[in-house]
A and B are shown apart, each in its own frame.
Chain A
């Protein structure tokens, strides 16, 4: 039993400093970034999901460029980005959540107890009214939307197409049926 006099036990893991620390006020309509990190494992998409959150959210300082914050965040995990692209936003608990998809090189390792490799499951898109958003939007639906977005970009945007040649067979599954014959 501890007497309280012993020096602290050796840490189980060594974590770096927090990935974001920003000023925050509940009185403001604030915004945050959601970074959805995807990679390939055995030629299948894998989501690097945070161990202790439904998705990775980082604060967005007023003066920061969102894409730069995403790149900085990836750097904290020593991940190598291939594509970083904003794909959607939603209003949630009084703040705007701006979602970025980040496709990264398969990592050789990840900091312990931080991100977990999670297979990407297909999901039905969240649907709203013609003039109103869906009442609820789940993270898997955000990823589904993002991959459908990428399936278009990989064909339409040369930079994205060149960055993701090995993703083409996967992204073809995310194309809307009427467009599959047009590639």
Chain B
């Protein structure tokens, strides 16, 4: 499954779960001075729907 994430500041990213977690962590670190673990990033996510490819 692929995800698209929008931050409150307008920054967006897309990719697989691992890619998005890495991008969110880097964005939080470089732009907002926030360090987050992968689990913390996952904990902020709401439920998402699978895409039509079923991945």
Contacts and interface: CB of A to CB of B under 8 A. Distances in A.
A and B held together in a complex: yes
A1 interface: no
B4 A20 contact: yes
A115 B51 CA distance: 31
A11 B34 contact: yes
Chain B contact residues, majority secondary structure: loop
B8 A19 contact: yes
A18 B28 CA distance: 11
Contact of A23 (B6, B34, B35, B48): B48
Interface residues of A, number: 40
A105 interface: no
B52 A12 contact: no
Given A15-B28, A18-B45, A25-B53, A59 B11 contact: no
Interface in A91-145: 111, 113-115
Contacts, number: 111
Contact of B49 (A14, A22, A76, A114): A22
A15 B32 contact: yes
A42 interface: no
A118 B3 CA distance: 30
B7 to A, nearest CB: 6
Interface centre among B12, B45, B49 (most CB of A within 10 A): B12
A61 B5 CA distance: 12
A83 B52 CA distance: 34
Interface stretch (A45-53, A151-159, A167-175): A45-53
A50 B7 CA distance: 10
Interface string B19-33: 000001000100111
A50 to B, nearest CB: 2
Given A8-B35, A18-B45, 14 more contacts: A11-B32, A12-B34, A15-B7, A18-B5, A19-B6, A19-B8, A22-B4, A24-B2, A24-B14, A27-B53, A55-B10, A61-B49, A113-B31, A115-B8
- What are the 6 closest A-B residue pairs judged by CB atoms, nearest first? A50-B10, A53-B10, A17-B44, A12-B33, A8-B35, A24-B4
